[in-house]
A = this chain, B = another copy of it.
């Protein structure tokens, strides 16, 4: 269970990083858009944080995709 838990956070973080980079946003600019701190974004992207659905919602908004689509992308990655 712990392994899966870590895996979810790590894969979620990697996905967020990839989408952020695809939008040509720095961690700092992305953090501003999310209303979060840059170091917190860094920790999320490294999968070091257990994030709430509210935080996930802020990230999705800043990435201009619905939260459901963010998780759909995550599920597609986890299938592979």
Q: Does A75 have its Cβ within 8 Å of any Cβ on chain B?
A: yes
Task: Give A residues with C-beta under 8 Å from B.
Answer: 1, 5, 8-9, 12, 35, 50-54, 56-57, 66-69, 71-72, 74-75
**Contact indicator A53/B12 (Cβ below 8 Å):** yes
- Say whether chain A's binding surface is mostly helix, strand, loop, or mixed: helix
Number of copies: 2
Other than the given A52-B52, A66-B71, A68-B72, 13 more pairs (CB < 8 A) read: A5-B54, A8-B53, A8-B57, A9-B53, A12-B53, A50-B53, A50-B54, A51-B52, A53-B53, A66-B72, A66-B75, A67-B71, A71-B71
Task: Tell me the complex Cα distance, A61–B66, Å.
Answer: 20
